[in-house]
Amino acid sequence: MNSSLPPRRWLLRGLALLAVLALLSPAGVAAVTDSSSDHADLQRGTIQSPADGETVVSVQGFHFEGRDSEKKPARLVSVGERGETEWVYNGSKRGATWFYDVDPMPNGNLLVTSTKPGTTLVYELDPETKEREWEEEFDLEDTHDVARLSEDELVVANMRQWDEGYDTSNDRVFVYNRTTGEITWEWYFKDHYPESTDGGMNEDWSHVNDVDVLDDERLLLSPRNFDQAIIVDRETGEIEERLGEDDDHDVLNEQHNPDYLESEDGAPTMLVADSENDRVVEYAKEDGEWTKTWEVGGPGQLNWPRDADRLPNGNTLITDTLNHRVIEVTPEGEIVWEYYATWGPYDAERVEHGPESNGPTIADMEAQGTYDVRGSAGLRPGTGDRLPFAVRVEATFSETPLEGPMVEFARTWSHVTPWIQPTWMTSWDFAFAVFGLLTALGWGAVEVVYQRRRLLDRARTVAARIRA
């Protein structure tokens, strides 16, 4: 039957086959030539100088193929000064589907926030024995941060508290006393924000992903979906400082884990992982206004950073989530320490320096400016000098009629593919492979239609002969 195909049909088939092979070949070559150990699952990158102490990394463990998949486990990873993996705590084997915030405690233990469907589990982990000193379980959905207020008190960022009966959001921050088992203080976002914020109340309205204890009365909160970092006075309940505003993405765009600093002259300062803008920024309050004093990164350099801590040496420790790494950069953006940790690191802490930033401000270092991130070992797709596929797409269609949809496509691509892209592929290999598979599927669909039509034509011919 195939021998009767016209030459043009054979030519089209040959061209389609060549296109599919050409698109799939980079991924095939990458797979064959990959010689990394366990696909560089946990690995040092650039190490220009040893870190000033141990680093602990919480790996979210995004499970693209289902929450209980072991393929991308939630883990805590301890990293030595020269980037060597010291120990790994697999939370997926201990009842944790996700890991989020991890805080070094004064006694050397770790305060860990982890979740599983419908439940938040907080505990104090002894890193030597890997045993839990105590634990608290809350009937809360997907909590990202719980901070220690005192020996007996925890502050919980309750990011998703939807009341279906009243169609209202009860997102809040509350203080829980472990000794009495009681909530002793609550602060609701709906009491301080109009319902129209972020387009209206919904099941994930504030997405408050961080709470830091500044002192006995003040808390630093990060309502991600409101594009703001705020300081709340627990005594008055008022918002006393506010950086950013809803939908003003030039300032902040769905940020994570802001840190509060003060300059030598007392100027309030915030260091923020500006996640959707793919950068880390620092703002100082000058003459009553917040002014951006520092910016590092940008699309193609960082990909959805979700934590940034200023170290005593003036460098900044950045959790570059969708590049699956943690980097320490100088004020000028040079990488001096780099560690790769799949899948989806959320938080990184230099243990001996405590849970929050405690280094100098950019103003105190006289390092104001905008800097590129440079000096990566490039061991993971998107972290080297070659521009990632999505960034090239965005640049190609800039200032054209297709800019809007292509920028949206590029942003979606850069945020989705790192979860599913094999670690041995570059973003270009993966893009070619995806388009190759789509081409093959399209070709297959055309063949099915064509063969079906041929069979129908033959059936009609046979039927006509029978009737004749």
pLDDT tens string 85-123: 999 999 877 878 899 999 999 999 999 999 988 899 999
Q: Say what the pLDDT of residue 434 is.
A: 75
Whether 421 and 433 have beta carbons less than 8 Å apart is answered as no
Summarize pLDDT for 169-200 with one digit per residue, the tens: 999 999 999 999 999 999 999 999 999 999 99
pLDDT at residue 431 greater than cutoff 80: no
Summarize pLDDT for 135-145 with one digit per residue, the tens: 999 999 999 99
Sequence-distant contacts of 103-112: CB under 8 A, at least 24 apart:
103/147, 103/148, 103/349, 103/355, 104/56, 104/349, 104/351, 104/352, 104/353, 104/354, 104/355, 105/148, 109/133, 110/56, 110/76, 111/146, 111/147, 111/148, 111/355, 112/58, 112/76
How far is 326 from 306, CA to CA, in rounded Å?
10
Instruction: Say which residues have a Cβ less than 8 Å from residue 356's Cβ, sequence separation at least 6.
Output: 212, 259, 260, 309
Considering the chain, what percentage of its residues have pLDDT values greater than 70?
81
Q: Say what the pLDDT of residue 425 is.
A: 67
Q: Say what the pLDDT of residue 150 is.
A: 94
The residue-averaged pLDDT of 156-170 equals 96
Summarize pLDDT for 392-419 with one digit per residue, the tens: 666 677 768 877 787 677 677 767 776 6
pLDDT at residue 70 greater than cutoff 60: no
How far is 417 from 43, CA to CA, in rounded Å?
21
Sequence-distant contacts of 106-110: CB under 8 A, at least 24 apart:
109/133, 110/56, 110/76
Domain locations along the chain: 2-34+424-467, 42-371
What is the pTM assigned to this prediction?
0.83
Residue with more model confidence, 372 or 388: 372
pLDDT at residue 422 greater than cutoff 70: no
Q: Say what the pLDDT of residue 453 is.
A: 79
> What pLDDT band is residue 1 in, cutting at 50, 70 and 90?
very low
CATH level 2 (architecture), domain 42-371 = 6 Propeller (2.120)
pLDDT at residue 227 greater than cutoff 60: yes
